[in-house]
Chains A and B, each alone.
Chain A
Amino acid sequence: MPSPAEAKPAPDAAPETKLRGWALVATPGAIGIGVGLLAWALSSGLHPNDQGYPRVLATVLVVLGAWNIVADLRSRSVDSEMDADYGQLAVGRVVSFVLLVAVCIWLVTPLGFYPAGGAVVLGGMAIMGVRKPLLLIGYPVVLLAAAYVLFSVLLRVPLPLARGF
């Protein structure tokens, strides 16, 4: 599917959407610069023979990151339609989803894989707007039962059970 940056909806976005657009557009370049600087800093603790290769890559990454930030911000300033693209992105929903998965990963050890996975499915459906109680309960139960038969019984993947089991 096309990324929101590739789509072409209407211009004239709200100020908060514009701000979000500016922040999002600079993020990949900033990640490049951040990772490059971190790698450069960490490489000083390495054996002298190991320092050269990471430093060359880190330098290239920082340069490319800076180039991308400048170029992305410049292209964004001439293409205000991108604001509307970012306006279509349900940031809250994405952040909730990421937090949900992170919490469920943390819960795998005390609760076991299946209850934690079930929470991902149930919570994910709720975040995406499913409100029918029967579907919210029924689908995760059926999916987990099918997953248990497939992974634990047939494929014998040793998925962890709850602590004490």
Chain B
Amino acid sequence: MLHNITSGLELLMQPGPLMWLVLGVIVGFLVGVLPGLSTSNTAALLLPFAITLPLENSLVLIVSIYAGAAFGGAVPAILFNVPGETGSAVTALDGYPMAKKGQAGLAIGIARMASVAGGVISGIVVLLLLQPLGTLSLKFGAREMFAIILLGLVVASTLMGGSARKGLMVGVFGLLLAIVGVSPGTAKTRFTFGELQLYDGIPFLAALIGTFAISEMLLLVGSEVAARRQREQEVKSGGLRKESRDAIAGVKATLAEPGAVARSSGIGILLGIIPGIGTSVANFLSYAAEKKRSKNPEEFGRGSHKGIIASEACDNAVASSSLIPTFTLGIPGSATMAVVLAAFYLQGIQPGPRVLETNSAEVYAVVLALIVASVLILPLGVLLAGPLASVTRLPMTLLVPTVLFLSMVGVYAIRNSIFDVGLALFFGVIGLLLRLNGYPVIPLILGLILGPLAEEYLLRSLELADGPSYFFGSVVVNILWAMLVAVLGGMAVMRFVKQRRERTPANQ
């Protein structure tokens, strides 16, 4: 393990990766502060250019955007009660009341330090867990991998978004779209409509940029809410000296609550390992746990330091620990991790049990990059407070057409294909229709990524099978099937309980 960490460190501590790391954190800040741009969108948008870089540089760039945005989203949440990222919604519960009391600087300082602590603690735990979990996953054969992919897809589809049925439908839609192209069983083409550009399957990046970036922009085009929000929102900087004073006060206030930092990071690590949980759910659970433990729970929601720590430490801890399922199983822990996974595939590397054998240095460099990026949040956050303030003045009327233009360039650059740009627009419209009705779009991408793998492992298992009993022939696979049944059963029970609860007040 030590050897892997050293190799990762050697890879990271080069001028190239370090430069991309700093750039990634800065871009992450921008993404976090600007409403309408999310981490996954930006990562997807940058991916066509990132994959022209060496693998470690492209991965470092994407994960450092993730780390930067995890904190950046807290700034508008604290100042205006408008979370820049979904995970920052919980930060607003206590950050905004502090801002109203004239303590915005201190609240941002606490958020900054809690982000650093959560990211660093989680990163170190991930470094320690990666090797043992990777070794365990090496024992998985084709049937176990098929069960894991199915489990990952079902868990992610049911947990992402508000409704399990919606997520599942989108996930299966993605699996079906992944069939387009050449069949792994017979080497004959399927569902290509004679279009040569579809022989290799639906171009993944076009679908990714379409469903993430273009659909988000179309939603902004059609929504009055965004324009109103933009008018209301403008970050002001208090100057470098004041930012430094606030940062120091934030460090002191955060370090005065070591228990809250440790507990929130722990919750973030645990929940981040489960694919699809996402930062918003994890942050709410962390906040609720901290409030329950507190001797003064009435302070929560009125500007409690612990409330901000619970949200921000957990947020950054999730960012690091979601790397574990991504690397060891090839199942993305979040939307941004789906982009990390795509970066691997596009560079010709298949993430999953064997990636720690084939590309251990790159994998460890990425985890270390997240730790370093988390540490950099502190100085860069202070230094860039002024420029970030001016960026928030960029009107939505300029931002949306610019992002759409960049999306077109990004999609075209992958295969020099106009067909792909049209396909991205098609996926943008599909993504818009799904988002409008509260359907999550991430399962579509997961289905597209995991579909070919699921089919391959299924076919391999069927070749090895001497009957259906083969699929229940090991302890591990039976545990995985049991987990799948438990998830589906739990989903049904939750639905039943929810329906009963909804009916009860009507009957009274």
Contacts and interface: CB of A to CB of B under 8 A. Distances in A.
Contact of B220 (A1, A25, A91): A1
Nearest to A85: B436
Interface string A30-41: 011001100100
Contacts of A160: 416, 418
Interface stretch (B182-190, B261-269, B464-472): B182-190
Contacts of A4: 223, 436
A124 B128 CA distance: 49
Given A47-B183, A68-B166, A128 B400 contact: yes
Interface residues on B, range: 35 or more
B396 to A, nearest CB: 7
Interface string B133-163: 0000000000000000000000000000010
Given A3-B437, A54-B190, A124-B404, A105 B223 contact: no
Given A35-B176, A108-B418, A3 B219 contact: yes
B397 A125 contact: yes
A157 interface: yes
A145 interface: no
A61 B226 CA distance: 33
Given A5-B438, A50-B190, A105-B421, A120 B169 contact: no
B340 interface: no
A58 B176 contact: yes
B173 A32 contact: yes
Interface string A3-35: 111110000000000000000110111011001
B272 interface: no
Nearest to A61: B172
B179 interface: yes
A144 B176 CA distance: 38
A32 B185 CA distance: 26
Contacts of B191: 39, 42, 54
B221 A90 contact: yes
A161 interface: no
A91 B409 CA distance: 26
A159 B224 CA distance: 34
Contact of A105 (B220, B397, B425): B425
B186 A47 contact: yes
A102 B165 CA distance: 32
Contact of A47 (B188, B404, B413, B438): B188
A29 B408 contact: no
Interface string A76-107: 00000000001011110110011001101100
Nearest to B396: A128
Contacts of A147: 405-406, 409
A105 B422 contact: yes
B176 A54 contact: yes
B435 interface: yes
Contacts of B404: 97, 101, 120-121, 124
B398 interface: yes
Given A31-B430, A36-B176, A61-B173, A5 B190 contact: no
Contacts of A128: 221, 396-397, 400-401
Contact of A6 (B186, B226, B438): B438
Given A124-B400, A129-B397, A27 B183 contact: no
Contacts of B421: 105, 108
A57 B218 contact: no
B409 A157 contact: yes
A130 B165 contact: no
Interface of B: 35-36, 49, 52, 162, 165-166, 168-170, 172-173, 175-176, 179, 183, 185-186, 188, 190-191, 218-226, 229, 396-398, 400-402, 404-406, 408-409, 412-413, 416, 418, 421-422, 425, 428-430, 432-439, 455, 458
28 contacts: A1-B220, A1-B226, A4-B223, A28-B169, A47-B183, A50-B183, A50-B185, A50-B186, A53-B458, A67-B169, A68-B166, A86-B436, A90-B223, A98-B425, A101-B408, A102-B422, A105-B422, A109-B418, A120-B404, A121-B401, A122-B401, A124-B400, A124-B401, A128-B397, A151-B409, A151-B413, A155-B413, A160-B416
